[in-house]
Amino acid sequence: MILILKEEVDLEGQEYQKLLDFIANFPDINVKVVEFEGETRSVREIHLIGQTHNVPEDVLGSMAGVERVVRVSTKYRQIGKHGANLEPVGFTYNGLHFDQDCLHVFAGPCAVDSPENVEETFRQLQGLGITTARMGAYKPRTSPYDFQGHGAACLPWVFELAGKYGIKAIAMEVLKESHIEEIYEELEKAGKPTGVIMQIGTRNAQNFELLKAVGSQQEFPVLYKRGMGLTVEESLNACEYIASGGNHNIIFCLRGVKSQFGAPHRNLVDFAHIPVVHRLTRLPVCVDPSHSVGSKDTSPSGIMDIFHVAAQGVISGANMILVEAHPAPETAWCDGHQSLTFDELEQFMQDVQVVRAAYEKRIDIFSSNLVKKMAA
Amino acid sequence: MILILKEEVDLEGQEYQKLLDFIANFPDINVKVVEFEGETRSVREIHLIGQTHNVPEDVLGSMAGVERVVRVSTKYRQIGKHGANLEPVGFTYNGLHFDQDCLHVFAGPCAVDSPENVEETFRQLQGLGITTARMGAYKPRTSPYDFQGHGAACLPWVFELAGKYGIKAIAMEVLKESHIEEIYEELEKAGKPTGVIMQIGTRNAQNFELLKAVGSQQEFPVLYKRGMGLTVEESLNACEYIASGGNHNIIFCLRGVKSQFGAPHRNLVDFAHIPVVHRLTRLPVCVDPSHSVGSKDTSPSGIMDIFHVAAQGVISGANMILVEAHPAPETAWCDGHQSLTFDELEQFMQDVQVVRAAYEKRIDIFSSNLVKKMAA
Amino acid sequence: MILILKEEVDLEGQEYQKLLDFIANFPDINVKVVEFEGETRSVREIHLIGQTHNVPEDVLGSMAGVERVVRVSTKYRQIGKHGANLEPVGFTYNGLHFDQDCLHVFAGPCAVDSPENVEETFRQLQGLGITTARMGAYKPRTSPYDFQGHGAACLPWVFELAGKYGIKAIAMEVLKESHIEEIYEELEKAGKPTGVIMQIGTRNAQNFELLKAVGSQQEFPVLYKRGMGLTVEESLNACEYIASGGNHNIIFCLRGVKSQFGAPHRNLVDFAHIPVVHRLTRLPVCVDPSHSVGSKDTSPSGIMDIFHVAAQGVISGANMILVEAHPAPETAWCDGHQSLTFDELEQFMQDVQVVRAAYEKRIDIFSSNLVKKMAA
Amino acid sequence: MILILKEEVDLEGQEYQKLLDFIANFPDINVKVVEFEGETRSVREIHLIGQTHNVPEDVLGSMAGVERVVRVSTKYRQIGKHGANLEPVGFTYNGLHFDQDCLHVFAGPCAVDSPENVEETFRQLQGLGITTARMGAYKPRTSPYDFQGHGAACLPWVFELAGKYGIKAIAMEVLKESHIEEIYEELEKAGKPTGVIMQIGTRNAQNFELLKAVGSQQEFPVLYKRGMGLTVEESLNACEYIASGGNHNIIFCLRGVKSQFGAPHRNLVDFAHIPVVHRLTRLPVCVDPSHSVGSKDTSPSGIMDIFHVAAQGVISGANMILVEAHPAPETAWCDGHQSLTFDELEQFMQDVQVVRAAYEKRIDIFSSNLVKKMAA
């Protein structure tokens, strides 16, 4: 059961104390306060966990300070929507706002390689007006004999360069608890010139210990990539692990699923699940066209499949795009075959803009249709 | 090996005879003439099948009447593109043109039920300016104890009503060779008031005998639905069966694949394969959002998932949409839970239009970028 | 609802007429008599189809001539077990008995090629004491340009040779209704020197029209191969199509499912479903190790994977094995890479015997344990 | 490239030094010594990693102290077989030997619950002559709100009780690096009354950091469970991570794969891959019938599916079985529905014995056939 508090309620005040006193009459209930920081307002919720079946909804609903009472199933307790009225307020990180309405493009190489390439990447992003990058310092590789990333050693100069070119956030994969600490320390040392979004990769999608670790800190938002062998439900349950630790700043990323039916694409694109995640949860949804498609193959119209599937994501409401770009894809240490050049990235951004405008037009039309219907 | 003839070549004339004489020097080669009827021009190809490895390409290429010579792998011999220059000319049926640039929406119920519902369907389609319908007389059902469709008995009144409301083509599934004959006869008897596109359902996607049967007639185009358990390659091989019988008027339909990762959708939407089929073959590509999604669930924006995935198809170049609509979905004999009302279909058409405009804008931009690049 | 009649009931007699009269009191019920011919007894059942919910079970159960009354769900109405007491009586064809206790090995080439090879195959089988063969006259091939089998033309000499070497039944795939007729006629012409079991291939596993066709004849038993992309439930539903036409002589064949997780095997072996089909239905269960494994790879012990998976089938109760063998596998027109030589087949038979003995020992132990438990 | 040393070679001696000196002539080569401890002999190998393409195989092969030279592909460098002659020597842990010929049954509950149940489990195992148990202290659960296991707190009494009843090894899952340390310390404190095999669960099958952690210690063998969404190749690559850290005492466990085609079983049983892993690697292979089947459903013969699939494993050479058993399955905190009672476990052991005898007979026959063939 969730009580949504009125905005003005003071957690030190009498109203709130009365609420707690009333709840104390029912045994075996844990009380937990959860706060969501939105752009226009913030929401505070009191989560009652345990034997709530005989707690009277109507009594609670009429108490001072309570805006709404929602009975929730245990499924997706923290990340779930639990009825149409619990709007997804989203969160703000380092000046960037994330919710189910936004659209950000995070571009960059698969892995950090040389300082020259990293600097060139940030310079090019700045030129395109992009402040959100992606690149990995820690890389999980299928074979132990492949390049595993530079690790913590590259963080100082990566962060410094990011700051130099106005990058506000880098999506960066972490593989173990200590990586969170390393990133935190290096950012502090460097004077926080940029921000990091902690990416949980598809291979760790059910590494519950790692999920608890990113969930129990509040410093960094988490970009959770759907397990390539997991259902939407299993993946959302894993996100609930993160949220249950206290961190609600989660973005859910679709990146294709592993399927014999995906070929010639690397994975079977699963972006049709965008509206599903929007419906079931409060989470913004990211798409990763690069890993989904896995090549730069081009349709007869001259448009790459990567562009086409990104367009499929945007036209149905994607809130974030991860796309691989590299100053010299043919020399990239990993995934060069699917990395855009910066010329191509410029076209990509132009294409995304066209499709986003169409998405917004769709939303406008449906909203006004809804208004007409309600008026009738 | 394929010889594309110049348009003016006379198959009775000397030039052509010389070609044949030259080819006759090589043993074990079969010669087959294939014609594609396009909107602005028609294309005639001479297919050399067999031991063509020592047939000199350059000699043939310089002979009178030959526009181009293309060496083809045996893969997708008839439906394949075999190099960028073999443009997909498409085909025209009953006044409707189908190619990789068109967009048609075929709407209607899963199965023919009552004359009242069928008439109401056609009337509503006419009201929306739609001349292309879908409905099944023969239904393949998972259980032998379920309703199997009215069969041939309903064809007379269905065709008559279709004609009355200006329907030019109905997409209609056939399950065995005799159904083709039945449809042909009933259309003839009724005076051809409408047309039929023969649909091969997903359960018959590798029923090669049925594929040969629809391939060896030229009267009806074929709408081939990807097997829900087949790769793109296996499905295209099956289309090649149709084409190898002589019928090139084939539309390839994506309808989602069967996967544990599709839930809560009925199937895992596979529309990311639109550009793939456009690249590999000459076939127009259809999408079926109704069977892919399998419900009328709606995202928080008020837009059904069916609309969202249809939009994903259209934004990446789909040439045809199959969508289920019914005058009273709650009484439909099958698939009512995923059928739109006609009010909803009207919104659907409006939505498709917005997205199609964006697709065309994308194409324009890429074309002009290409032109600029070539000019540079 | 199913009434199992006592053995002595005369369908022309008074007892039976009284039963029908009583049932006639309930509207909307169809009555269908189904007979199963077993080795030691035959079973006759009266199937009541329709609105049976208010037919009193106890009244019917106490009427003369009625041995037992079973309420069935509509699921697997004909092939299902519907409770532990409806024993699977099996069927006899051309002197061969098939039930859930038997074990037959059907060996031979994928496709009929030359008379010499076919004769050598039958001669070798006779030498090994095998009277059950497999070979295809009609072959479904993924590409239309591959060898499609000799078709009806080879049937006369295949049947004659089979008879000459004492082959009692050949498992032979049919692809369309007319093939049944062709086989019937050629067998008749040849004087029925052998028998045929009609195989439904995995690609036609949901070709319901073909299933109805083999189901509506009683001459030939049907070997139904699980669809490589179908669940057990969907495949059993398809078998129900066969049975609903009147033919109950069905063998269910597991042949591996298509899965990205099967490699390096051609398919993912699914023989763990043997006890499932034994539990849910009355059908004998066949396994096809050749198509499941798809190669002659050998484990370090010197035993081929084909032998290992066949052993897995036999140890858990398989009733029939399809195995590919050819006089000269390297020259076979299809599937030579997975065909045994006859030396290898001899080893295979020896191996099967060892494992079958262990299976029978397992059954003995469990039976006596059950007896002990009941005595206690 | 791998040099297998003669047994008598002294790593401090002259022969060995000469070898190193010769190798030092080639740049960019790392030398690593790997030792395998077998029952009858131990094997020492020198692994040359890097640019070995121009290292002369014949020269090295003829040098003193070198028994054999094997060029390896990088695939499965440490765990692979690399040719028929590199026999799998296996390893011994706490008096238990593991190789590709052994068979051990590890039985017990899914999770440690009460001391009473744990003691009763060990007592029953002792009664059945079993010294190998399974039970989890750390449990990965799909939902964060489910019981997560007792963790380190239960280790002292679990280890003490195990020792009391003669248990030599417990298969126990670890989820993070610190769990290895916790287990090590508690075993030490308790005076090592028993042993532990570190289980890597299917959800961590590509948690490479955890694999490196269990791979970089030599105290405990590792039981690696195939990822439910991974191919055999991907899973073996993950095992290579363990081995590349220095720990070669690895057992590979098949536990079914996640597939829509597995129902009504919980997973699709994949035990046909036993001979594949035996062929490709040196690893012993374990099977987990409990998690594969996921229920105690019983075939008409009175034998549970769990028994049938275990039999499928044993008949094709499984070296270890994990099976869930609990003193009171209906009260177990997890997986009670698939847990055997100890009466059932007794039957299970009897069944395994019958099937194992048949497997050994198979091996004998093939060995003597091989001998005959070589003699001929």
β-pairing, D196-200 with C196-200? unpaired
Helix C208-215 crosses helix C177-189 at what angle (to 10 degrees)? 30
Sign of the Cα torsion B256, B259, B261, B266 reads positive
pLDDT at C45: 82
pLDDT band at C144 (very low <50, low <70, confident <90, very high): confident
Chain D nearest C-alpha distance from B260 (Å) = 5
What's the average model confidence in pLDDT over A307-333? 96
Closest CA to D128 of D354, D341, D335: D341
* Best residue of D362, D363, D364, D368 to probe chain C, by most C CBs closer than 10 Å: D362
Closest residue, chain C, to B208 (C-alpha): C140
pLDDT at residue number A144: 82
Give the closest of A77, A145, A208 to D74, CB-based.
Answer: A145
The closest of D162, D169, D220, D219 to D190, measured between CA atoms, is: D162
CB contact under 8 A, D143 and A207: no
pLDDT above 70: residue D161: yes
Q: How far apart are CA B269 and CA B288, in angstroms?
A: 9
The nearest CA of chain B is from the CA of D265 a distance in Å of 14
Q: Six-digit token pair at C188? A: 């008749």
Q: Report chain D's mean pLDDT, rounded to a whole number.
A: 91
A326, A91, A269, A273: which is closest to A195 by C-alpha?
Answer: A91
A281 φ, ψ (degrees, to nearest 5): -135, 175
Count of alpha carbons within 13 angstroms of residue A250, beta-carbon side: 33
* Inter-residue contact D236 to D228 (CB < 8 Å): no
Q: Does residue A264 have a cis bond before it (omega within 30 degrees)?
A: yes
How far is B311 from B358, CA to CA, in rounded Å? 10
- Please tell me which residue of chain C has the smallest CA distance to B237: C143
Sheet holding A66-70, edge to edge: A29-37, A42-50, A2-5, A66-70
**D257 contacts in chain B (CB < 8 Å):** none
Query: B88 and B100 in contact (C-beta within 8 Å)?
Result: yes
Q: Read off the pLDDT of residues A48-73 as tens digits, 9 standing for 90 and up.
A: 877 777 788 888 888 888 888 877 66
Nearest residue of C to residue B148 by CA position? C208
Which chains, if any, share at least 3 CB pairs under 8 A with chain A?
B, C, D
Phi, psi (5° rounding) for residue D102? Answer: -75, 170
Residue D165 has pLDDT above 50, yes or no: yes
Q: Which residue of A has its CA nearest to B257?
A: A261
Per-residue confidence (pLDDT) for residue A346, from 0 to 100: 97
Residue A83 has pLDDT above 80, yes or no: no
Q: Which residues of B touch D (CB under 8 A)?
A: 258-260
- Which of D39-53, D277-291, D327-341, D350-364 has the weakest average pLDDT? D39-53
Peptide bond into C284 cis (omega under 30): no
For residue C281, the cross-strand partners are: C80
Short-list A225, A280, A281, A295, CA closest to A257: A225
pLDDT in tens, B32-83: 887 776 555 677 888 887 777 778 888 888 888 888 887 766 578 888 887 6
What is the 3 state secondary structure string of chain D? Answer: CEEEECCCCCCCCHHHHHHHHHHCCCCCEEEEEEEEECCCCEEEEEEEEECCCCCCHHHHHCCCCEEEEECCCCCCCCCECCCCCCCCCCEEECCEEECCCCCEEEEECCECCCHHHHHHHHHHHHHCCCCEEECECCCCCCCCCCCCCCHHHHHHHHHHHHHHCCCCEEEEECCCHHHHHHHHHHHHHCCCCCCEEEEECHHHCCCHHHHHHHHCCCCCCEEEECCCCCCHHHHHHHHHHHHHCCCCCEEEEECCECCCCCCCCCCECCHHHHHHHHHHECCCEEECHHHHHCCCCECCCCCEHHHHHHHHHHHCCCCEEEEEECCCHHHCCCCHHHCECHHHHHHHHHHHHHHHHHHHHHHHHHHHHHHHHHHC
What residues in C contact B237, CB-CB < 8 Å? 142-144
Can you tell me whether residue B199 is helix, strand or coil? strand
Q: Is C54 a residue whose pLDDT tops 80?
A: no
Cβ-based interface (< 8 Å): residues of C facing A: 258-260
Most confident of C12-26, D35-49, D112-126: D112-126
Helices (H) and strands (E) in chain A, counts: 11, 14
Report d(CA A109, CA C360) in Å as an integer.
Answer: 62
Kindly report the backbone phi and psi dihedral angles of residue D147, in degrees, each rounded to the nearest multiple of 5, phi listed first.
-55, 125
Q: How far is CA B358 from CA A75, A359, B353, in A?
A: 38, 9, 9
Look at A106 and A49; give whichever has higher pLDDT.
A106
Prediction ipTM score: 0.88
What is the interface size between B and C, counted as CB pairs within 8 Å? 67
Mean pLDDT of chain A: 91
Contact D259 C264 (CB under 8 A): no
Cβ contact, residue pair A366, B84, below 8 Å? no
Q: How many Cβ pairs closer than 8 A exist between chain B and D?
A: 5
CA–CA min distance A241, chain B (Å): 20
Chain C residue with minimal CA distance to D306? Answer: C272
> What is the per-residue pLDDT for B274?
98
Nearest CA in chain B to D263: B260
More confident call, C57 vs B252: B252
Pick from A272, A347, A365: CB nearest B265: A272
Neighbouring residues of B373: CB distance < 8 A, sequence distance ≥ 6: none
pLDDT one-digit tens code per residue, D65-118: 888 887 766 578 888 887 645 555 799 999 999 999 999 999 999 999 999 999
Closest CB to B229: pick one of C142, C208, C228. Answer: C228
* B176 vs C335, more confident: B176
Closest-CA distance of chain B to residue C365, Å? 39
The three-state secondary structure class of A51 is: coil
% of residues, chain D, pLDDT over 90: 68
Number of H-type helices and E-type strands within chain C:
11, 14
| Total CB pairs under 8 A between chain C and D | 186
Mean pLDDT of the C103-125 span:
97
User: What SS3 state is found at B269?
Assistant: coil
Whether the per-residue pLDDT at D141 is higher than 50: the answer is: yes
D355/chain A closest Cα distance in angstroms: 34
Would the CB atoms of C258 and A260 count as touching at under 8 Å?
yes
CA distance D258 to chain B (A): 9
Q: Whole-angstrom Cα distance, residue D206 to residue D188?
A: 30
* Nearest residue in chain D measured CA to CA from C231: D261
pLDDT score, position B84: 47
Q: D69 and D50 in contact (C-beta within 8 Å)? A: no
- Between chain A and chain D, the number of residue pairs with CB atoms below 8 A apart is 66
Q: Residue C258: list chain A partners with CB under 8 A.
A: 260
pTM here is: 0.89
| A260 token code pair | 């014999």
Give residue D194's region: left, alpha or beta (phi > 0; psi -120 to 50): beta
Q: Are strands C29-37 and C42-50 parallel, antiparallel or unpaired?
A: antiparallel
Structure tokens at D326: 């609990």
Which has the minimum average pLDDT: A29-33, B54-58, C149-153, D37-41?
A: D37-41
Across residues D337-351, what is the average pLDDT?
Answer: 97
Average pLDDT over residues B1-14: 86
**Are B142 and C237 within 8 A, CB to CB?**
yes
Phi, psi of A287 (to 5 degrees): -125, 150
pLDDT digits (tens, 9 = 90+) for C254-309: 999 999 999 999 999 999 999 999 999 999 999 999 999 999 999 888 999 999 99
The residue in chain C having the minimum alpha-carbon distance to the alpha carbon of residue D302 is: C366
CB within 8 Å of D4: residues ≥ 6 apart: D43, D44, D45, D66, D67, D68, D69, D70, D86
Q: How far is A141 from chain D (nearest CA, A)?
A: 8
Do the chains contact at A261 and B231, CB–CB below 8 Å? yes
- Say if residues D98 and D284 touch (Cβ distance below 8 Å): yes
**What's the DSSP call for residue C111?**
B
Top-confidence range, A283-287, B76-80, C141-145, D369-373: A283-287
Name C290's bridge partners. none
Beta-carbon count within 10 A of C178 CB: 13
Partner-chain contact C261 D270, CB within 8 Å:
yes
pLDDT of residue B129: 98
Average pLDDT, chain B: 91
Consecutive H or E run containing B98: strand B96-98
Q: Is the pLDDT of residue B240 over 70?
A: yes
The chain D residues in contact with chain B (CB within 8 A) are 258-260
For D259, the closest chain B residue by CA position comes to B260
Candidates A117, A106, A133; CA nearest to A331 is A117
Examine the pLDDT at B174 and tell me if it is beyond 60: yes
Q: Where are the beta strands (DSSP E) in chain A?
A: 2-5, 29-37, 42-50, 66-70, 91-93, 96-98, 104-108, 132-134, 169-173, 196-200, 222-225, 250-254, 285-287, 320-324
Nearest CA to CA, how far is D33 from chain A (Å)?
Answer: 17
Which residues of chain D are at the A interface, by a Cβ-Cβ cutoff of 8 Å? 74, 77, 140-145, 175-177, 203-204, 206-210, 212, 227-230, 234, 237, 240-241, 244, 258
Bridge-based pairing state of the strands D91-93 and B222-225: unpaired
DSSP B267: S
What is the average per-residue pLDDT within D200-215?
A: 97
Kindly identify which residue of chain A lies nearest to residue D206, measuring between CA atoms: A203
Which chain A residues have a beta carbon less than 8 Å from that of B297? 275-276, 279
CB-nearest to D361 from C270, C272, C354 is C354
Under an 8 A CB cutoff, do D241 and A206 touch? no
> Do B361 and A354 lie within an 8 Å CB cutoff?
yes
Which chain A positions have a beta carbon within 8 Å of D141's beta carbon? 208
Assess contact for D78 and D43: CB atoms under 8 A.
no
CA distance D265 to D271: 14
Of A232, A269, A367, the CB nearest to B272: A269
Q: What is the pLDDT of residue C84?
A: 46
Chain Cα centroid distance, residue B230: 17
Percent of chain D with pLDDT over 70: 95
Smallest CA–CA distance from A260 into chain C, residue: C260
Three-class SS of A122-177: HHHHHHCCCCEEECECCCCCCCCCCCCCCHHHHHHHHHHHHHHCCCCEEEEECCCH
Q: Which amino acid is at C46?
A: I
> Of the candidates C264, C265, C272, which has its C-beta nearest D309's C-beta?
C272
Overall average pLDDT of the D155-184 stretch: 98
C237: nearest Cα among B110, B257, B145: B145
Q: Which residues contact B101 (CB under 8 A, 6 or more apart)?
A: B90, B319
Contact D162, D170 (CB under 8 A): yes
- In chain B, which residues have their Cβ closer than 8 Å to the Cβ of D260? 258-260
**B210 in helix, strand or coil?**
helix
